[in-house]
């Protein structure tokens, strides 16, 4: 049976706003390579760069089904987060949290270096982020967050409702905690800039979906429509589509989360933001809403999860989410008349039941990093680089740390129990977080 491939819904605002993209290169026939990397998101781009830098004489092939930036890495909210996220901050030893934090900082430092060195125009902003609370329930979550940060020894600032309203231009929020090392970016511009500046021994083929991956003794055959690559090593950087190659089928929960972007705000409307002209806010309640004011004066909202065992959503869901995003923005900004959305899109996120990601070898010489629990920009970047190190047998403290903090995603119950359970869990989270949507 043919495998299911990624599709672009043609609606991602970040991608639509790019002013330039590359023409796709073509390749035909039988080809030999030293490594084939499948998937051109944060993981695949970082893996290709690191592998090629370590072995400048190797032929490194990067195959992407769509255009770079049309996968989740160009569709996200653009927060490069330094802190361990959600349960990684709540659970586990202090030592594990410190390792995750150090690895995330290394990813941010790597990205900063590439952005500066290659002058990638991606609205890179070292503004930190606000963790925002709605009402008493939200403040309860923030108190818990503050305790976790204290235990971790991480500095933060508590911002009360009025100064917060001056920044966010909205009275909707009751309190926030500001932490200062998160970086905000235009994600599609960042990944495209990374793709444009890969080392010379990386050949990137966009719009070249991999249709089959077969192993023959010590070699893999990786087939696209017009070419077959033979290589001794493969790195899968295919996010939820990894299931299609027969791996982690029973451990991954393929989901989508959704974002919308408004029209640019007018100069007059921008006056409600009294302090800064761009910022990012993530919800104190994990089931809540992420919100940004982008550098080009648009509000970007993200919330809602949908379980997508067949990878794709339906138009009805997207319309309903678009309406709820508009409603959420109107509740936060009643002063903006005629607030309209220019774009609404969904993007793939892999979750697991025990909140563990996967990093390492799926099979001999077949590597994967994914199931990032919907925060994979920094994790994808560091794990992509470290997969390349692992594939080449290069040892480093970072690789040892990554292997040490990595556990296996839990096994799912069989269908139909899985779908029923996940949908019920998501419906409950939606109800509990209704005031945050
Ligand atoms: C709306 C939204 C908001 C988010 N916000 C944030 C955020 O602010 N911060 C954060 O850290 N994370 C965020 N995330 C999560 C983050 O985007 C992902 O965790 C991360 O991009 C995953 O990177 P990746 O390289 O593993 O996957 P992807 O970027 O999805 O890359 C996988 C690539 O593989 C390609 N592919 C799949 N199958 C094949 C095949 N057969 N042949 C060839 N290519 C194939 C796909 O086309 C895709 O481009 C968000 C996600 C979404 C959807």
pLDDT confidence of residue 117: 98
Q: Is the CB of 239 under 6 A from ligand 1?
A: yes
Residue 152 makes CB contacts below 8 A (sequence gap 6+) with 83, 89, 94, 97, 98, 101
Rounded distance, CA 169 to CA 3, Å?
47
pLDDT confidence of residue 149: 95
Q: Which atom of ligand 1 is nearest to the CA of 244?
A: 41
- What stretches in the chain show pLDDT beneath 50? none
Angle at 285 between CA 279 and CA 291, to 5 degrees: 25
Q: Is the CB of 374 under 6 A from ligand 1?
A: yes
Contact 36, 234 (CB under 8 A): yes
Residue 193 makes CB contacts below 8 A (sequence gap 6+) with 114, 115, 118, 120, 121, 122
Structure tokens, 278: 């761009």
Residue 9 makes CB contacts below 8 A (sequence gap 6+) with 318, 345, 346
Rounded distance, CA 297 to CA 302, Å?
16
Strands, sheet with 212-216, edge to edge from the N-terminal-most edge strand: 29-32, 227-231, 219-223, 212-216
Q: Is the CB of 182 under 6 A from ligand 1?
A: no
Q: Which residue lies with its CA nearest to atom 3 of ligand 1?
A: 76
pLDDT confidence of residue 231: 98
Contact 299, 329 (CB under 8 A): yes
pLDDT confidence of residue 374: 85
* Best mutation site among 71, 211, 409 for ligand 1 pocket (most ligand atoms within 8 Å of CB): 71
Residue 237 alpha carbon to ligand 1 centre in Å: 9
Q: Is the CB of 261 under 6 A from ligand 1?
A: no
Let me know if domain 127-183+253-353+421-436 sits in CATH 3.10.20.740: no
Contact 59, 229 (CB under 8 A): no
Q: Which atom of ligand 1 is nearest to the CA of 79?
A: 8
Residue 336 alpha carbon to ligand 1 centre in Å: 32
DSSP-assigned letters across all residues of 265-280: PPTTGGGG--S-S-EE
Residue 225 alpha carbon to ligand 1 centre in Å: 23
Q: Which residue lies with its CA nearest to atom 22 of ligand 1?
A: 376
Residue 43 alpha carbon to ligand 1 centre in Å: 8
Q: Which atom of ligand 1 is nearest to the CA of 282?
A: 8
Per-residue pLDDT of 18-43, as tens digits, reads 998 899 999 999 999 999 999 999 99
Burial class (CB in 10 A: 0-12, 13-18, 19+), 196: middle
Q: Is the CB of 43 under 6 A from ligand 1?
A: yes
Domain ranges within the chain, ordered by starting residue: 127-183+253-353+421-436
Q: Is the CB of 254 under 6 A from ligand 1?
A: no
pLDDT confidence of residue 262: 98
Contact 158, 175 (CB under 8 A): yes
Structure tokens, 402: 């990554």
Residue 217 alpha carbon to ligand 1 centre in Å: 31
Rounded distance, CA 347 to CA 365, Å?
29
Which residues on adjacent β-strands are paired with residue 32?
A: 230
Q: Which atom of ligand 1 is nearest to the CA of 376?
A: 19
Residue 72 alpha carbon to ligand 1 centre in Å: 3
Q: Which residue lies with its CA nearest to atom 19 of ligand 1?
A: 376
Rounded distance, CA 419 to CA 437, Å?
23
Contact 132, 281 (CB under 8 A): yes
Residue 169 alpha carbon to ligand 1 centre in Å: 31
Q: Is the CB of 377 under 6 A from ligand 1?
A: yes
Contact 242, 252 (CB under 8 A): yes
Rounded distance, CA 288 to CA 294, Å?
19
DSSP state, residue 351: E
Provide, rounded to the nearest whole percent, the portion of the chain with pLDDT above 90: 85
* Best mutation site among 10, 72, 246 for ligand 1 pocket (most ligand atoms within 8 Å of CB): 72
Q: How many CB atoms lie within 10 A of CB 311?
A: 17
Rounded distance, CA 346 to CA 12, Å?
8
Residue 274 alpha carbon to ligand 1 centre in Å: 34
Contact 86, 355 (CB under 8 A): yes
Report CA-CA distances (Å) from 78 to 219, 297, 308. 37, 15, 23
Structure tokens, 250: 């029973």
Q: Which residue lies with its CA nearest to atom 1 of ligand 1?
A: 76
Residue 71 alpha carbon to ligand 1 centre in Å: 5
């Amino acid at each position: 049976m043919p495998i299911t491939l990624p599709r672009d819904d043609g609606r991602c605002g970040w991608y639509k706003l790019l002013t330039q993209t590359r023409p796709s290169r073509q390749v035909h026939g039988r080809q030999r390579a030293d490594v084939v990397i499948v998937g051109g998101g944060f993981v695949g781009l970082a893996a290709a760069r690191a592998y090629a830098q370590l072995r400048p004489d190797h032929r490194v092939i990067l195959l992407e089904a769509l255009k770079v930036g049309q996968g989740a890495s160009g569709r996200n909210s653009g927060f490069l987060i330094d802190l361990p996220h959600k349960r990684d901050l709540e659970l586990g030893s202090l030592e594990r949290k410190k390792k995750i934090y150090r690895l995330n900082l290394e990813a941010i430092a790597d990205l900063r270096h590439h952005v500066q060195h290659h002058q990638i125009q991606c609205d890179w902003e070292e503004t930190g982020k606000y963790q925002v609370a709605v009402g008493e329930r939200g403040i309860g979550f923030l108190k818990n967050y503050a305790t976790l940060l204290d235990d971790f020894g991480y500095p933060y600032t508590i911002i009360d409702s009025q100064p917060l309203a001056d920044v966010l231009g909205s009275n909707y929020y009751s309190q926030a905690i500001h932490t200062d090392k998160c970086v905000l970016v235009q994600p599609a511009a960042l990944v495209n800039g990374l793709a444009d500046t890969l080392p010379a021994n990386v050949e990137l083929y966009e719009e070249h979906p991999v249709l089959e991956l077969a192993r023959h003794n010590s070699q893999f055959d990786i087939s696209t429509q017009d070419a077959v690559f033979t290589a001794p090593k493969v790195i899968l950087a295919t996010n939820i589509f990894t299931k299609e190659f027969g791996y982690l089928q029973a451990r991954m929960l393929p989901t989508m989360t959704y974002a919308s972007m408004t029209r640019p705000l007018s100069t007059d409307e921008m006056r409600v933001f009294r302090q800064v002209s761009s910022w990012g806010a993530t919800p104190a309640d994990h089931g809540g809403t992420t919100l940004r004011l982008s550098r080009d004066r648009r509000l970007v909202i993200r919330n809602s999860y949908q379980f997508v065992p067949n990878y794709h959503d339906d138009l009805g869901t997207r319309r309903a989410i678009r309406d709820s995003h508009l409603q959420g923005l109107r509740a936060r900004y009643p002063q903006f008349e005629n607030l309209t959305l220019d774009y609404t899109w969904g993007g793939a996120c892999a979750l697991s039941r025990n909140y563990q990601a996967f990093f390492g070898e799926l099979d001999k010489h077949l590597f994967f990093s994914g199931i990032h629990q919907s925060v994979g920009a920094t994790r994808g970047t560091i794990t992509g680089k470290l997969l390349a190190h692992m594939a080449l047998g290069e040892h480093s403290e970072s690789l040892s740390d990554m292997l040490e903090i990595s556990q296996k995603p839990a096994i799912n119950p069989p269908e139909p129990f899985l779908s029923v359970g996940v949908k019920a869990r998501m419906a409950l989270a939606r109800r509990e977080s209704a005031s945050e949507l």
